[in-house]
Amino acid sequence: MADFRVSCMGIVGDGCGGGREFIIENEILFAHDPQSGKNTTLLKNIKGALSISKKVCILYIECKSESFKYDLSKMMRISEI
pTM of the model as a whole:
0.90
Choose among 11, 13, 8: nearest CA to 25: 8
Strands of the sheet containing 67-71, edge to edge, are 49-55, 58-63, 67-71, 76-80
pLDDT of residue 2: 53
pLDDT of residue 37: 95
pLDDT of residue 13: 85
pLDDT of residue 64: 95
Do 6 and 50 form a contact (C-beta atoms < 8 A)? yes
How does pLDDT run along the chain (81 residues), one tens digit per residue?
455 799 999 998 888 988 999 999 999 999 999 999 999 999 999 999 999 999 999 999 999 999 999 999 999 999 887
Choose among 19, 39, 15: nearest CA to 29: 39
Amino acid found at 61: I
Q: Going from the N-terminus, what domains does the chain have, and what CATH number goes with each?
A: 6-80 (2.40.10.480)
